[in-house]
């Protein structure tokens, strides 16, 4: 039954895509439906007229659109059920599907690791299915057909689920490519914008380069084994050199999809241009599928993990976390800012938490874009009064991603620090030196993340409106668009208070994959979290919550006791200047100016201040224009030289196109001679 639930999740996601494809045939469906209902209600004229009227108003396509998201939501529910079931049962289920190659049918394996990531995908898909119907309603059917959006969304989700089920290299790559190609069409959905087309092309190019690296990694394992099934690959005996080559190829392929520095350049380009619910799935879920692939390849297929690989991952992870949050601080574009906050994915627990709050923030950004038609945070402001429910949900996401206590992000970051404090038990001197440095970088990342999202929440929701669209904004009317983020916000708080629920599930994954589990006092205790031992360090979120509630109650009682201290609403103090205006507020670049000065070498900064002068001898300043452009070092120093080299090579190769038929016949004759020589 567990595997049946997993299959149902895949099939329902496929079905949602196929049902969306039927939107292209809505006129034919409308005619067929009218004919059928007329036959059925032929004896009742009033019913027949009512049905025809509603169908003519195109309510049937609206129902079809909602049915697509219902199927997608059911897919998420079955994925959650299947993931929980296999995690709790601690079992490993295998199967074969009569697809694939004649000598290699698709092999399926569903174990604890697959189930854990099934759980992550299922929760995200459930939230998106609640959010989606209201969000896609703003698209015009003739410009952005829902058939394409729904079809590729279903294929995208199905591809991710199939990656988790794959137990042979062939099925894995088919599912991986299905996930990548479907997400390419989703990134290019609003293709009328040149930026979207460029981002989609860059994403597809990087995805295919990464896929090629993964194929080569599987090829290294297959060359030392008897087949392409994962069971055969596990039995391969590799030398340290060949194992390291396979690891580097896997790290390049999966790291490119996960957005690890320096192969991350596609990520801030692709995520902002995709529809918000797709951005949530890509950033919050697809990156975790890449993490799953790396874990499966290294810990399951390669088996013997060498400490040098850990050093490489530690350095790249630290650079990704610190570089990502530093670049995020400079971003005025809300969705691009969220895409850069990848964090230090040192554990499955943080991957789970990361999926929750990144999906929450991207869905919240979608609501803001839907209501204000803006993604530039410098053009928002004052939305806490106009959109109180959205602001509360977004605040939960900001506090979670900033690793504040009582929310899930704090627990996983606290566990990462506790792991770093155990460095004295290691025998390797290199690791004992690097881990404290990485822990310090992680602490700096957490502090900068808090500053970044203070900026985000303050500029978007506090102060005064900075644009007409922001002034006219109001709370979203579609309750489903709030229900999806509310589900994720509730989980962020619940997991932050009771982290033992997820840690117990991760313990089962660790037992299956590594043969080792966490101590009982950390894995099974619901009140106290003690990753090493209760004597060394412990954390109790329920007690912290009780203490916070008591402190809040005391403060409330104290403020209410004295009439002079009762909180009241009043105009913001204008310092005697005679009224505040939006121009007096901090902008994104002004807020981050101290950080920009301190970490100036981290980016390529182009800052210009131009003055328009007037009056006698141009001594009076009429206007000041400020321009700030910040670029990542990776693009001009790594990718632009490669692009220039490819262009030069293409021009050299293009010289063989002379346009002379005799030359082409000579090419054919020379090729024929070479082939005859090779064959003979």
Segment 23-68, tens digit of pLDDT: 665 544 444 444 444 544 454 545 445 444 444 444 446 777 788 8
Mean pLDDT score of the chain, rounded to an integer?
A: 80
Domain end, chosen from 133, 148, 167, is at 167
The answer to whether residue 127 sits within a structural domain is yes
Q: Smallest Cα–Cα separation from 480: which of 130, 15, 128, 60?
A: 130
Q: Smallest Cα–Cα separation from 301: which of 167, 159, 488, 445?
A: 167
Check pLDDT > 50 for residue 398: yes
- Please state, in angstroms and rounded to a whole number, the distance separating the CA atoms of residues 646 and 636: 15
Max mean pLDDT range (321-330, 331-340, 485-494, 649-658): 485-494
- Please state, in angstroms and rounded to a whole number, the distance separating the CA atoms of residues 232 and 243: 15
The answer to whether residue 85 sits within a structural domain is yes
Backbone φ, ψ for residue 21 (5° rounding)? -60, -25
Using one digit for the tens of pLDDT, what is the confidence trace for 511-553?
Answer: 777 666 665 545 445 677 776 666 677 788 888 889 989 998 8
Q: Smallest Cα–Cα separation from 477: which of 385, 370, 334?
A: 370
As a whole number, mean pLDDT of residues 395-419 equals 86
- Please state, in angstroms and rounded to a whole number, the distance separating the CA atoms of residues 500 and 528: 8
pLDDT band per the 50, 70, 90 thresholds, residue 8: very high
What is residue 51's predicted lDDT score, i.e. its pLDDT? 46
Check pLDDT > 90 for residue 125: yes
Domain end, chosen from 148, 167, 186, is at 167
Domain count, the chain: 2
The answer to whether residue 197 sits within a structural domain is no
The answer to whether residue 428 sits within a structural domain is no
Higher pLDDT, 552 or 508: 552
The answer to whether residue 163 sits within a structural domain is yes
The answer to whether residue 473 sits within a structural domain is no
User: What does the DSSP assignment read for 181-211?
Assistant: HHHHHHHTTTTTSHHHHHHHHHHHHHHHHHH
As a whole number, mean pLDDT of residues 116-120 equals 91
Using one digit for the tens of pLDDT, what is the confidence trace for 292-310?
Answer: 998 888 888 887 777 777 7
The answer to whether residue 645 sits within a structural domain is yes
Check pLDDT > 80 for residue 135: yes
pTM of the model: 0.82
- Please state, in angstroms and rounded to a whole number, the distance separating the CA atoms of residues 410 and 492: 10
Return the percentage of the chain with pLDDT > 90, whole number.
Answer: 15
DSSP state of 526: S
Domain end, chosen from 145, 167, 189, is at 167
Check pLDDT > 80 for residue 338: no
Using one digit for the tens of pLDDT, what is the confidence trace for 651-678?
Answer: 888 777 777 888 888 888 888 888 888 8
As a whole number, mean pLDDT of residues 219-233 equals 88
Determine the structural domain holding residue 22 and report its residue range: 1-167
As a whole number, mean pLDDT of residues 383-400 equals 91
What is residue 333's predicted lDDT score, i.e. its pLDDT? 58
Environment class of 106 (CB within 10 Å of its CB; exposed 0-12, middle 13-18, buried 19+): buried
- Please state, in angstroms and rounded to a whole number, the distance separating the CA atoms of residues 347 and 416: 8
Measured in whole angstroms, how far is the alpha carbon of residue 462 from the centre of its chain? 27
Axis crossing angle, helix 240-258 with helix 307-329, rounded to the nearest 10? 20
**Minimum mean pLDDT range among 78-92, 233-247, 457-471, 622-636:** 622-636
The residues, ordered by sequence, that sit 6+ positions from 443 with a Cβ below 8 Å of its Cβ are 417
What is residue 73's predicted lDDT score, i.e. its pLDDT? 92
The answer to whether residue 31 sits within a structural domain is yes
Check pLDDT > 90 for residue 78: yes
Check pLDDT > 80 for residue 253: yes
Higher pLDDT, 31 or 217: 217
């Amino acid at each position: 039954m567990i595997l049946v639930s997993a299959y149902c999740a895949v099939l329902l996601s496929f079905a949602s895509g196929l049902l969306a494809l039927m939107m292209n045939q809505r006129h034919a469906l409308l005619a067929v439906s009218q004919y059928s209902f007329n036959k059925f209600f032929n004896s009742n004229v009033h019913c027949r007229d009512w049905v025809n009227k509603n169908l003519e108003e195109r309510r049937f396509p609206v129902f079809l659109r909602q049915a697509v998201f219902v199927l997608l939501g059911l897919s998420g529910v079955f994925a959650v059920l299947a993931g929980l079931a296999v995690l709790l049962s601690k079992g490993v289920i295998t199967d074969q599907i009569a697809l694939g190659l004649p000598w290699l049918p698709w092999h399926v394996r569903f174990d604890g690791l697959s189930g854990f990531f099934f759980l992550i995908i299922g929760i995200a898909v459930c939230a998106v299915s609640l959010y989606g119907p209201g969000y896609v309603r703003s698209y015009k059917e003739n410009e952005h057909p829902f058939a394409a959006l729904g079809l590729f969304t279903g294929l995208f989700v199905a591809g991710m689920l199939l990656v988790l089920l794959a137990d042979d290299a062939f099925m894995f790559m088919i599912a991986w490519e299905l996930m990548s190609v479907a997400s390419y069409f989703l990134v290019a959905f609003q293709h009328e914008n040149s930026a979207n087309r460029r981002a989609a092309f860059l994403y597809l190019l990087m995805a295919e380069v990464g896929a090629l690296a993964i194929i080569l990694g599987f090829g290294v394992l297959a060359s030392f084994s008897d087949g392409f099934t994962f069971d055969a690959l596990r039995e391969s005996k590799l030398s340290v050199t060949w194992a390291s080559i396979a690891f580097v190829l896997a790290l390049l392929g999966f790291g490119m999809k996960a957005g690890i520095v320096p192969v991350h350049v596609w990520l801030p380009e692709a995520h902002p241009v995709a529809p918000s619910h797709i951005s949530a799935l890509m950033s919050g879920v697809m990156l975790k599928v890449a993490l799953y692939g790396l874990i499966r390849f290294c810990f399951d297929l390669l088996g013997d993990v060498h400490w040098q690989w850990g050093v490489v991952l530690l350095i790249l992870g630290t650079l990704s976390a610190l570089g990502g949050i530093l670049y995020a601080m400079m971003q005025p574009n809300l969705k691009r800012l969220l895409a850069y906050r990848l964090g230090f994915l040192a554990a499955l627990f943080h991957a789970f938490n990361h999926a929750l709050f990144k999906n929450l923030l991207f869905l919240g950004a979608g609501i803001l874009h839907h209501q204000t038609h803006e993604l530039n945070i410098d053009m928002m402001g004052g939305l806490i009064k106009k959109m109180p429910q959205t602001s509360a949900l977004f605040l939960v996401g900001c506090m979670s991603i900033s690793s504040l206590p009582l929310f899930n992000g704090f627990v996983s970051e606290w566990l990462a620090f506790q792991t770093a404090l155990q460095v004295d038990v290691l025998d390797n001197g290199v690791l004992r030196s690097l881990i404290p440095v990485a822990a310090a970088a992680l602490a700096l990342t957490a502090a900068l993340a808090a500053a970044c999202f203070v900026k985000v929440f303050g500029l978007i929701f506090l102060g005064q409106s900075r644009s007409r669209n922001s002034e006219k904004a109001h709370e979203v009317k579609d309750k489903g668009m709030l229900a999806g983020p509310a589900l994720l916000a509730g989980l962020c708080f619940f997991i932050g208070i009771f982290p033992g629920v997820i840690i117990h599930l991760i313990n089962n994954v660790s037992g299956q994959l590594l043969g080792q589990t966490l101590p009982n006092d950390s894995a099974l205790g619901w009140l106290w979290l003690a990753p090493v031992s209760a004597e060394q360090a412990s954390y109790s979120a329920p007690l912290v919550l009780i203490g916070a509630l008591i402190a809040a109650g005391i403060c409330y009682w104290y403020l209410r006791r004295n009439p002079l201290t009762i909180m009241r609403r009043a105009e913001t103090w204008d310092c005697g200047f005679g009224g505040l205006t939006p121009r007096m507020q901090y902008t994104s670049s002004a807020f981050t100016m101290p950080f920009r000065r301190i970490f100036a070498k981290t980016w390529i900064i182009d800052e210009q201040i131009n003055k328009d002068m007037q009056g006698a001898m141009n001594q009076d300043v009429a206007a000041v224009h400020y321009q700030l452009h910040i670029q990542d070092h990776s693009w001009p120093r790594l990718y632009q030289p490669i692009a220039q080299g490819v262009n030069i090579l293409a021009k050299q190769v293009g010289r063989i196109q002379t346009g002379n038929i005799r030359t082409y016949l000579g090419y054919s004759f020379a090729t024929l001679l070479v082939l005859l020589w090779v064959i003979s």
